[in-house]
């Protein structure tokens, strides 16, 4: 997830680009840059770090600028340094590109370009686009961009400039957001409305698979076949803060709704048409992965719940023994590690000190370390022998939502990959699961539609202070995560428990007024979970059940929340979404600030 701004018009261009990018920093903040068309050349200024670092460099720039594009980056390919920062230019420096999204077939395109003599400076997928545009210098810019859009696969929002056409920016959109702000004798192009809201409230919506020419006094929209399309004009009614949140009341809600896209990004380029998992980026020798005889997964908080799911997935699919540890406990139990151990450390931020120290300890014992992180080049990523990025984009809300579901998907990919390399699942079984993984974005979309139903349900619980979340097998980590979400943002006591364990003690706490949420999607144990829920009902608990469409759950629940039918373990991704919404609605009904819950920090860098 990155932020794009473009401007053509009479204002000092940097006075538009810099504040515009600053307003988009919530979309990415590991590096930033601008390209300025000064007529006889394009000047590129870029740096690692935040907008304030870029502003320091821009301070040295002098000259009359005709148009410009800028970018604030959230790295997906290549470390967040000044070389990988956008904008990227073609070989001549005459064409310049900023990009938000992932070019899925970039390595194939790059190979072709290298064979035809192109030299690459960065490790990004975006530079491929710049070289392709450079090769099409004979075509009008809009045609060149259209051609690139037809060749590049994946999510692309582009803003492209050419030195020879200084009063023109060409935008393109597929899968990543891009809008035009319409001014009087000036126009803006941006990933999101806050970038231009202080200048205009008039906007043009750009649908997917569109290319747009933006000049000071005109815009021209077309589809990928080159047919002209009538632009749809809208007026922005939001204020600044609402616009930053994309019209949602909170970042947390926005991030919950971003999950279909985030999951699609996690999968992008990692599953093949033929149903294989493609994790070339891991750069871990297959022989080494075949020699592993034990796996450890370590993490904290929400990431630990992803680790719990990973244990089920890796054991089920590879038959390797897996131990999971809360990272802050790992070092102190003297785990038995050696060069045949694979340690997977999961951390959204990649900076959580408990996880980092545990990972360092594992490496020092000779274990092989895979880091699973959302932040490119994080401390964990640098420490690890190999990294798998979750690609959820920046998460501003303290409560993890999209970073959790993408961790689940990343771990499912990793589990299947290990099974593929070690030959423990036959290719047909992997193919079926890969296909089902690709259904997840759409299934999560479906679940999001029941938000109002959940709000109405939780509206009856203003006096409830005791919640239990129960599940077995793959449903257990989901239950744990549901309880954690509620605790951290609604400040109510919520226990996540293995449903079958309740009868060994905690059932004593169940009485009238206690809400018990059961998760029953894992086919191995569904009926057992339902029996456990009957036991809660018999003690007068209020029963809510998360079950799959098509399942007959009898009369055990006071309320049933249905999620799409899915494969075991993959279903964790859809089953947790109603629980995120449940926590959200309980907390907001109490008037709490869900984005910044009390006593918490987004990243915990103390032991």
What distance in Å separates the CA atoms of residue 125 and residue 108, rounded to the nearest whole number?
Answer: 10
Tokens of 195: 């970038």
H or E element in which residue 353 lies: helix 353-364
Q: What is the dihedral of CA 384, 390, 391, 393, to 10 degrees?
A: -100
Q: How far is the CB of 600 from ligand M6R (least distance, A)?
A: 6
Q: Dihedral sign for Cα 155, 159, 163, 167, please.
A: positive
Strand partners, 203: 181, 234
Q: Is 136 exposed, middle or buried (0-12, 13-18, 19+ CB in 10 A)?
A: middle
Contact 302, 408 (CB under 8 A): no
Q: How far is the CB of 50 from ligand M6R (least distance, A)?
A: 19
What are the contacts of 116-121 at 24+ separation with CB within 8 A?
A: 118/91, 119/91, 121/83
The catalytically annotated residue of 294, 363, 528, 602 is 602
**In this structure, are strands 493-498 and 515-520 parallel, antiparallel, or unpaired?**
unpaired
Q: Interface with ligand M6R by CB under 6 A: which residues?
A: 300-303, 347-349, 352, 355, 398-400, 488, 600, 603-604
Strand partners, 295: 322, 342
Selection from 148, 165, 66, 251 nearest residue 157 by Cα: 148
**In this structure, are strands 232-235 and 202-205 parallel, antiparallel, or unpaired?**
antiparallel
- Cα 586-399-343 angle, rounded to 5 deg: 135
Tokens of 8: 């053509």
Tokens of 376: 């490119």
Q: How far is the CB of 227 from ligand M6R (least distance, A)?
A: 46
Q: How far is the CB of 306 from ligand M6R (least distance, A)?
A: 8
Selection from 547, 301, 290 nearest residue 418 by Cα: 290
Q: How far is the CB of 300 from ligand M6R (least distance, A)?
A: 4
Q: SS3 for 17?
A: helix
Whose Cβ is closer to ligand M6R: residue 75's or residue 533's?
Answer: 75
Mark whether 602 is an active-site residue. Answer: yes
Tokens of 274: 């033929």
Whose Cβ is closer to ligand M6R: residue 367's or residue 399's?
Answer: 399
- 508 DSSP assignment: G
Whose Cβ is closer to ligand M6R: residue 72's or residue 390's?
Answer: 390
Whose Cβ is closer to ligand M6R: residue 76's or residue 348's?
Answer: 348
Whose Cβ is closer to ligand M6R: residue 114's or residue 600's?
Answer: 600
Strand partners, 442: none
Q: How far is the CB of 303 from ligand M6R (least distance, A)?
A: 4
**In this structure, are strands 31-37 and 42-48 parallel, antiparallel, or unpaired?**
antiparallel
What distance in Å separates the CA atoms of residue 65 and residue 57, rounded to the nearest whole number?
Answer: 16
The residue sitting closest to ligand M6R, measured at its beta carbon, is: 301
The catalytically annotated residue of 2, 245, 300, 526 is 2
Q: How far is the CB of 355 from ligand M6R (least distance, A)?
A: 5
Whose Cβ is closer to ligand M6R: residue 193's or residue 399's?
Answer: 399
Whose Cβ is closer to ligand M6R: residue 269's or residue 301's?
Answer: 301
What distance in Å separates the CA atoms of residue 573 and residue 407, rounded to the nearest whole number?
Answer: 9
Whose Cβ is closer to ligand M6R: residue 302's or residue 574's?
Answer: 302
What distance in Å separates the CA atoms of residue 413 and residue 293, rounded to the nearest whole number?
Answer: 19
Q: How far is the CB of 447 from ligand M6R (least distance, A)?
A: 19
Mark whether 112 is an active-site residue. Answer: no
Query: Mind telling me the catalytic residues?
Result: 2, 602
């Amino acid at each position: 997830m990155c932020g794009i701004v473009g401007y053509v018009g009479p204002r000092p261009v940097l006075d538009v680009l810099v504040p515009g990018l600053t307003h988009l920093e919530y979309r990415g903040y590991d590096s930033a840059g601008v390209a300025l068309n000064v007529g006889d050349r394009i000047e590129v200024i870029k740096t690692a770090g935040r907008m304030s670092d870029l502003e320091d460099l821009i301070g040295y720039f002098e000259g009359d600028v005709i148009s410009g594009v800028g970018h604030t980056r959230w790295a997906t390919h290549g470390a967040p340094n000044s070389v990988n920062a956008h904008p990227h230019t073609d070989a001549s420096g005459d064409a310049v590109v900023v990009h938000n999204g992932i070019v899925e077939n970039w390595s194939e395109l790059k190979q072709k370009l290298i064979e035809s003599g192109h030299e690459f400076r960065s490790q990004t997928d975006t530079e491929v686009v710049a070289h392709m545009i450079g090769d099409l210098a004979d075509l009008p810019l809009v045609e060149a961009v259209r051609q690139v859009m037809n060749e590049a696969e994946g999510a692309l929002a582009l803003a492209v400039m050419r030195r020879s056409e200084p009063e023109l920016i060409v935008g393109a959109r597929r899968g990543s957001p891009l809008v035009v702000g319409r001014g009087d004798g000036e126009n803006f192009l941006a990933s999101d409305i806050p970038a231009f809201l202080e200048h205009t409230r008039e906007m043009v919506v750009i649908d997917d698979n569109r290319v747009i020419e933006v000049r000071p006094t005109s815009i021209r929209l077309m589809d990928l076949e080159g047919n002209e399309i009538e632009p749809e004009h809208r007026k922005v009614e939001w204020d600044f803060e609402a616009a930053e949140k994309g019209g949602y009341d909170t970042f947390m809600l926005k991030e919950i709704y971003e999950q279909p896209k985030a999951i699609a990004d996690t999968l992008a380029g990692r599953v093949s048409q033929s149903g294989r998992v493609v994790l070339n980026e891991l750069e871990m020798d297959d022989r080494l992965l075949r020699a592993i005889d034990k796996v450890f997964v370590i993490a904290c908080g929400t990431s630990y719940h992803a680790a719990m799911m990973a244990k089920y997935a890796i054991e089920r699919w590879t038959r390797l023994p897996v131990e999971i540890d809360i990272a802050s406990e790992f070092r102190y139990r003297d785990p038995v590690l050696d060069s045949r151990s694979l340690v997977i450390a999961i951390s959204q931020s990649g900076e959580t000190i408990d996880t980092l120290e545990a990972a360092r300890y594992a490496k020092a014992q000779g274990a092989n370390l895979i880091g699973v992180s959302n932040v490119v080049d994080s401390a964990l990523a640098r420490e690890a022998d190999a990294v798998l990025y979750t690609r959820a984009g920046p998460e501003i809300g303290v409560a993890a939502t999209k970073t959790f579901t993408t961790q689940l998907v990343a771990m499912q990919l990793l589990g299947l990959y290990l099974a593929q390399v070690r030959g423990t699942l036959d290719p047909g079984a992997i193919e079926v699961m890969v296909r089902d993984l690709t259904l997840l974005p759409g299934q999560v979309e479906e679940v999001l539609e029941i938000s109002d139903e959940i709000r109405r349900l939780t509206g009856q619980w203003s006096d409830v202070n005791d919640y239990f979340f129960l599940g077995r097998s793959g449903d257990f980590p989901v239950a744990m995560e549901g309880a954690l979400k509620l605790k951290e943002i609604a400040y109510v006591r919520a226990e996540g428990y293995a449903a079958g364990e309740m009868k060994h003690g905690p059932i004593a706490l169940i009485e009238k007024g206690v809400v018990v949420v059961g998760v029953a999607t894992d086919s191995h144990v569904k009926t057992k979970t339902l029996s456990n829920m009957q036991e809660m009902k018999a003690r007068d608990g209020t029963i809510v059940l998360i079950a799959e469409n098509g399942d007959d759950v009898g009369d055990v629940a006071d309320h049933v929340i249905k999620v799409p039918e899915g494969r075991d373990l993959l279903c964790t991704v859809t089953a947790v979404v109603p629980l995120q919404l449940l926590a959200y609605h309980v907390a907001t009904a109490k008037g709490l600030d869900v984005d910044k819950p009390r006593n918490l920090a987004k990243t915990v860098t103390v032991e």
